[in-house]
Amino acid sequence: MTRLTASCAAVIALALTIPAGAAEMLQALGPGEGQVDIVAWPGYIERGETDKSFDWVTKFEAATGCKVNVKTANTSDEMVALMNEGGFDLVTASGDASLRLIAGKRVQPVNPTLIPSWATLDPRLESAPWHTVGGVHYGTPYMWGPNVLMYNANVFPEAPTSWNVVFEPMDLPDGKPNAGRVQAYDGPIHIADAALYLMAHKPDLGITSPYELNEAQYAAALDLLRQQRKLVSRYWHDAFIQIDDFKNEGVVASGSWPFQVNLLASEGQPIASTIPAEGATGWADTTMMHADAAHPNCAYMWMEHTLSSNLQSDLSVWFGANPSVPAACTDGRGMQTAEGCKTNGMEDFEKIRFWTTPVSNCASQGTCVPYYRWVSDYIGVIGGR
């Protein structure tokens, strides 16, 4: 499991405000520097190597002279660690990393006037709180979607209606126990999935946000995760290893991303996904620029490129997620369609509990358990403590 660095954990304990002395945003673009170095989620930046139909890098490199170098990361904590180390220009950060990067002064404000396609953004994302602090934007919205329940349709002839199939010991529809055949996400933010489940099944706990937990609510979530530990065959963080586990290791249900679902289905595997009755957590990812980016002009060119509707459209199809540019669903420049966006949950924005960094000074109840505790305690859960 990727562990959060001590320095990053300390940052989370602080109030998240605009960092004093943060890098000033660029005011004008110059010529490209010849390359751009990006930390990204798997499947987010494709150059046709996995599937030749999906390539949004080659033409960009030819048009700009900026070679795209990608380092994939499998968890938000890994992304934060890589940005703390430096040497990268951009990162596709989820909401449980973006505010940490801002508070830690690892990213700089972006200038929307240097990104002509900014005006095409979904208004729900343009000033979203996971990348906008005090009215200052610290990134360009990229893609968003739910953490779905992926399942084997041979085992579940009908879609599961509850997350209980991965949290509670039971026999599945094929008559066999779920123990040893389910997975859970290898990241502290998975505590929020347990809290979301408890919101529906133990309302007396009074949880109103899965990211804002008092001590009693937090203890209940950890207890549920300790129960889940007895069922889990593997805590996954590598999308491709999870894909192999569903194909070859007898795994039949797990929280997952649409990316894995789509790849498995494209190979003819009996795999489907659903959002159960309790709802789902989710991610809204932002392309953020390092405070000390060595290639800022190429970085801005890439951020503009990511908002082209054909890229957004094709990425939406490839990843099974939702574009940050609504026109990508309807203008016909890419593979996506209005119906496809509806299937991906474009209309479900308000139903998703987007990943957010837990902080001690929380809005719902004054004092909550901060993220550094989530990190250490989740390591303990995985280790059987």
Any idea what the CATH number is for the domain that residue 327 is in? 3.40.190.10
- Verify that 183 and 206 share a domain, yes or no: yes
Same domain, 246 and 378: yes
The reply to whether 178 and 124 lie within a common domain is no
- Most confident range, picked from 49-58, 222-231, 262-271: 222-231
The 8-class DSSP code of residue 164 comes to H
Average pLDDT over residues 331-337: 95
Residue 123 within any structural domain of the chain: yes
Q: Are the C-beta atoms of 308 and 187 separated by less than 8 Å?
A: no
Higher pLDDT, 8 or 183: 183
Range of the structural domain that residue 238 is part of: 146-281+358-382
Residue 1 is assigned to a structural domain of this protein: no
Lowest-pLDDT choice from 230-234, 293-297, 356-360: 356-360
Give pTM, 2 decimals. Answer: 0.83
Please check whether residues 332 and 377 belong to one and the same domain.
no
Q: What's the pLDDT at 94?
A: 92
Within-domain flag for 29: yes
Same domain, 275 and 289: no
Asked if residue 6 has pLDDT above 70, the reply is no
Higher pLDDT, 351 or 280: 280
Which secondary structure element, helix H or strand E, spans residue 265, and what is its range?
helix 258-266
Is residue 215 a contact partner of residue 377, using CB atoms and an 8 Å limit? no
Please report, in angstroms and rounded to a whole number, the separation of the first and last CA atoms in the chain.
15
Is the domain of 247 the same as that of 368?
yes
Say whether pLDDT at 16 is over 80: no
Mean pLDDT of 208-225: 97
C-alpha to C-alpha distance for 7 and 371, rounded to whole angstroms: 13
Residue 385 binned pLDDT confidence (cut-offs 50, 70, 90) = confident
Rounded-to-integer distance, Cα 132 and Cα 114, Å: 17
pLDDT tens digit string along 124-150? 999 998 999 999 999 999 999 999 999
Residues 159 and 249 placed together within one structural domain of the fold: yes
Looking at residue 158, its pLDDT comes to 97
Q: How confident is the model at residue 22 (pLDDT cuts 50, 70, 90)?
A: low
8 A C-beta contact, residue 376 and residue 358: no
Q: What is the mean pLDDT of the chain?
A: 92
pLDDT at site 345? 83
Per cent of the chain over pLDDT 90 is 82
Assess whether 185 and 166 both reside in one domain. yes
Same structural domain, 81 and 229: no
What is the spatial distance between Cα 125 and Cα 141, in angstroms, rounded to a whole number?
A: 7
Are 53 and 61 in contact, with CB atoms under 8 Å apart? no
Query: Are 103 and 171 members of one domain?
Result: no
Dihedral, CA atoms, 193, 195, 198, 203, nearest 10 degrees?
A: -140
Q: How many whole angstroms separate alpha carbon 234 and alpha carbon 186?
A: 9
Is 23 within the bounds of a domain?
yes
Total structural domains within the chain:
2
Crossing angle (nearest 10°) for helices 191-201 and 371-382: 90
Cβ density class 162-191: b for 16+ within 10 Å, e for less: bbbbbbeeeebeeeeebeebbbbbbbbbbb
